[in-house]
Amino acid sequence: MADETPWSGVADTVEDPEETRVMFSALDSFLQYAKVARFNCTHLRRQSFYALPQTHWQMLAAPPFNYLETLDKVDEAIDSNAELARMIVKNGLPSFPPFHPVAPDQEPQMPPQWAGCAKHPDIDKARSTIRQFYRDWSAEGRPEREACYGPVIHTLLAEKVSRDANAAPLKVLVPGAGLGRLVYDLCLNGFDTQGNEISFHQLLGSAYILNGTEHAGQHTIYPWIHTFSNHQTRANHLRGYSVPDVHPKTQMDLASQRGTVGEMSMVAADFLCLYGDEDHADAFDAVASVFFLDTAPNLIRYLETIFHCLKPGGVLVNVGPLLWHFENHAPGNHGRDDDGDGDNDTTGIADPGSFELSDDEVMALVSKIGFEIVKRETSIEAPYILDAESMLQTVYRASAWVARKPAA
């Protein structure tokens, strides 16, 4: 791929003790996943099972229920998920100097001072990241990708057709790139694409799947095993999915031989801090925002930064719901001077203060920032890591729109 290192800027951040802690907590959380998942999913259930009256647990242990066998199969599924988690760590650990690559026959080992440092929220993020591979990197997750990535790709392909055929490839920024599937798909379609992500869990996962896997279907994940509710059949509860559905490096190499591939890069950074600087002014032809804008505590800052880094005439393509991530727990210091420097300003996503808008108010704000609304569609069905066989179905009715920065 265009950039052999998983991320840009890692070496600059490891000097920050807090950044170092966050990095190694993410790594350690993947190694702790199996132990914690086994405790929560099967150990506690076995205790509750044997606490039943003996005649009751004996009934459930026998056919057709075979409940104890189900718990054994869940343990096996956790082990399969944990193998993916282990490889994510093995692939990611050498990226954090001064540590050295792990030999093929060695297990990944955390530096002693960081072993066991992950806390419950970190391990929960590792679990949710493993589940997200279903959405981004399984064949069965394709309908979800088509619903949210499809409108972006179609819009940008139309944008490319409208440009001079001899012009340079369009430069696209994907903030909140997650596990990198949209970045990868855009590159295969000939766009020079930069993904930006602040979550080290997501960055570790995308670095492995894009750069570290050896073949398609290398892993089998079991995304539904962490909950025992709303399953129509036990077979679906225990259903596994092969990931990745394609081998990214092979497909990128083939596209490169055809001359149809764009350049790819992934950057680990706070979106606001990085892309709001002068070096990124008028830097991109398009910004692809998918399930991203509602991560903003202050949407004005997000939109101003996107406007800043778009070239005149560039487009913002957005798809997503409005699940405001900071609702009821605003970030920042709420105007207090907590560090004693006499300045209560902060920078980045954790600025103090937050607000939540309705969809029509978001559109009004987009116009207020200076964008021209080109196209808008509402109520697009957009599932998110949805078990289609579950007795509980939750599907977003997303908004999709295109806004253009006026030409100079």
pLDDT digits (tens, 9 = 90+) for 94-139: 887 656 566 667 788 888 889 999 999 999 999 999 999 999 999 9
* Exposed/middle/buried for residue 129 (C-beta within 10 Å: 0-12, 13-18, 19+): buried
| pLDDT at residue 82 greater than cutoff 80 | yes
The distance of Cα 118 from the centroid of its chain, to the nearest Å, equals 19
Q: What mean pLDDT comes out for the span 331-347?
A: 45
| pLDDT at residue 342 greater than cutoff 80 | no
Confidence at residue 5, expressed as pLDDT on a 0 to 100 scale: 41
Pairing of strands 219-221, 192-197: unpaired
Greater model confidence, 318 or 7: 318
Confidence band of 340 (pLDDT split at 50, 70, 90): very low
| pLDDT at residue 200 greater than cutoff 80 | yes
Of 15-19, 103-107, 258-262, 342-346, the poorest mean pLDDT is in: 342-346
Question: Which of the listed ranges 3-7, 49-53, 158-162 does the model predict with the highest average pLDDT?
Answer: 49-53
Length of the chain: 408
| pLDDT at residue 344 greater than cutoff 70 | no
- CA–CA separation, 226 and 284 (whole Å): 40
| pLDDT at residue 11 greater than cutoff 50 | no
pTM, entire model: 0.91
Tell me what percent of the residues of the chain surpass a pLDDT of 90: 79
Confidence at residue 329, expressed as pLDDT on a 0 to 100 scale: 79
Q: What mean pLDDT comes out for the span 264-281?
A: 94
| pLDDT at residue 249 greater than cutoff 50 | yes
- CA–CA separation, 225 and 22 (whole Å): 27
* SS (HEC) of the chain: CCCCCCCECHHHHCCCHHHHHHHHHHHHHHHHHHHHHHHHHHHHHHHHHHCCCHHHHHHHHCCCCCHHHHHHHHHHHHHHHHHHHHHHHHHHHHHCCCCCCCCCCCCCCCCHHHCCCCCHHHHHHHHHHHHHHHHHHCCCCHHHHHHHCHHHHHHHHHHHHHCCCCCCCCEEEEECCCCCHHHHHHHHCCCEEEEEECCHHHHHHHHHHHHCCCCCCCEEECCCCCCCCCECCHHHHCCCEEECCCCHHHHHHHHHHHCCCCCEEEEECCHHHHHCCHHHCCCEEEEEEECCHHHCCCHHHHHHHHHHHEEEEEEEEEEECCCCCCCCCCCCCCCCCCCCCCCCCCCCCCCCCCCCCCHHHHHHHHHHHCCEEEEEEEEEEEECCCCCCECCCCEEEEEEEEEECCCC
Q: What mean pLDDT comes out for the span 29-56?
A: 98
Residue 219 has φ and ψ, to the nearest 5°, of: -125, 155
What does the pLDDT look like over 281-314, one tens digit per residue?
A: 999 999 999 999 999 999 999 999 999 999 999 9
Confidence at residue 320, expressed as pLDDT on a 0 to 100 scale: 97
